[in-house]
């Protein structure tokens, strides 16, 4: 079956705008049952100057969700920060956005606690609590990480002396530390070891057709409970506007990659010049020493 390629930000965003598809995908990645999901904020956009008079918005693929998750003992609400990157320079952007999320007052909630005041008196007080933050990263470039499709980064709590480990729970831990999941798109290839990797096969770039915009996926091997993701991506493929936006995104990414290469070349040129200057200064110093001797 042919679907639109979600490697493109415009398609990725279109897929996540479908609440059912977004819940299915995010639940599969974090391994928890999301029963309610809503956008906390709109994605940010950045306008890139084009070589022509045409200017197009580059969607900075950064989404914040508020997710209500069903647990064995009840429910919890977490903030899910999802980011997708094609360029290594996006690492600094990840740090900035994460810092913003920790400072965002909307990522907290107020609870009412009853405390005993006297023998038969009780006092109700309001206390602010912070929501736990989950981070999900989709990376489409080579990294120094282990060559695996999906990596989970979790915190642990242990005695610094004995090494004994303890459950990583409690609001001090969950409020100041975050869990992360890293999807390495280039490592997906044809790995289909579990349902999650089968679901993520919609990002496998080895399935591209004659055009980079379209993937050919095996929908029969795709988990039936997650077919809404396939349907949403097929709908994006059939939308002429989305096809045009993918073409514009190609142009923008190419310009950004060209600029990155130019910057790298300039840095290398400067480094080579600095090296030559050091060598010349060393040679001059040696010549002076020889004259004095």
pLDDT digits (tens, 9 = 90+) for 120-152: 777 777 777 778 899 999 998 888 899 999 999
Per-residue model confidence (pLDDT) at position 111: 67
154 vs 89: which has the higher pLDDT: 154
Closest by CA position to 226, among listed 251, 189, 193, 201: 201
pLDDT at 89: 62
- CA diameter of the chain: 98
Question: Alpha helices of the chain — where are they, by DSSP H?
Answer: 9-16, 19-30, 90-103, 171-176, 195-199, 227-237, 240-292
- Per-residue pLDDT, averaged over 12-23, amounts to 94
More confident residue, 61 or 247: 247
Question: Which residue has better confidence, 159 or 52?
Answer: 159
Q: What is the mean pLDDT of residues 167-187?
A: 86
Summarize pLDDT for 63-75 with one digit per residue, the tens: 899 999 998 888 9
Rounded CA-CA distance 76/99 in Å is 22
List CB contacts of 267: < 8 A, sequence separation 6 or more: none
Give SS3 for 104: coil
> SS3 for 185?
helix
pLDDT tens sequence across 90-127: 666 777 767 777 777 777 667 676 777 767 777 777 77
Q: How far is CA 210 from the centre of its chain?
A: 28
Helices (H) and strands (E) in the chain, counts: 7, 14
pTM equals 0.75
pLDDT given for residue 51 in this prediction: 47
| 54: pLDDT strictly greater than 50 | no
Distance CA 105, CA 291 (A): 70
Q: What percent of the chain has pLDDT over 90?
A: 39
Distance CA 16, CA 43 (A): 11
The band of 251, judged by pLDDT with boundaries at 50, 70 and 90, is confident
Q: What is the pLDDT of residue 12?
A: 94
Nearest alpha-carbon partner for 108 in 194, 171, 58, 167: 171
Residues 6+ apart with CB under 8 A from 2: 209, 214, 215, 216, 217, 234, 237
Contacts of residues 74-77 at CB distance under 8 Å and 24 or more positions apart, as own/partner, are: 75/35, 76/132, 77/109, 77/131
In the numeric block, the tokens 């508020």 are attached to 66
Angle between helices 19-30 and 227-237 (to 10 degrees): 130
- Looking at residue 56, what is its pLDDT? 40
Residue 52 above 60 pLDDT?
no
Residue 57 pLDDT > 60: no
Residue ranges making up the domain that contains 35: 2-292
Number of domains in the chain: 1
| pLDDT tens digits for range 185-232 | 999 987 888 999 999 999 999 999 998 999 999 888 899 999 999 999
């Amino acid at each position: 079956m042919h679907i639109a390629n979600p490697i493109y930000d415009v398609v990725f965003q279109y897929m996540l705008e479908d609440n059912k598809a977004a819940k299915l995908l995010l639940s599969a990645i974090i391994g928890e049952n999301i029963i309610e999901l809503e956008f906390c904020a709109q994605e940010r956009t950045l306008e890139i100057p084009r070589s022509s008079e045409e200017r197009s918005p580059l969607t900075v693929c950064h989404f914040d969700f508020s997710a209500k998750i069903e647990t064995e003992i009840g429910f919890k609400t977490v903030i899910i920060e999802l980011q997708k990157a094609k360029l290594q320079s996006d690492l600094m952007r990840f740090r900035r956005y994460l810092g913003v999320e920790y400072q965002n007052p909307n990522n907290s909630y107020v609870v009412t606690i009853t405390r005993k005041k006297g023998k038969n008196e009780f006092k109700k007080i309001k206390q602010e609590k912070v929501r736990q933050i989950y981070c999900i990263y989709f990376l489409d470039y080579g990294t120094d990480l282990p060559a695996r499709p999906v990596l989970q980064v979790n915190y642990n709590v242990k005695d610094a002396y004995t090494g004994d480990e303890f459950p990583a729970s409690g609001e001090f831990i969950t409020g100041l530390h975050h869990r992360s999941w890293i999807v390495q798109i280039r490592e997906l290839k044809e790995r289909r070891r579990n349902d999650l990797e089968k679901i993520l096969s919609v990002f496998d770039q080895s399935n591209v057709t004659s055009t980079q915009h379209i993937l050919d996926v095996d929908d029969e091997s795709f988990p039936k409970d997650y077919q809404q993701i396939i349907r949403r991506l097929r709908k994006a493929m059939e939308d002429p506007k989305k096809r045009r936006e993918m073409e514009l995104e190609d142009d923008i990414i190419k310009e950004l990659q060209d600029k990155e290469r130019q910057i790298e070349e300039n840095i290398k040129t400067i480094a080579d010049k600095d090296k030559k200057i050091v060598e010349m200064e060393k040679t001059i110093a040696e010549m002076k020493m020889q004259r004095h001797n």
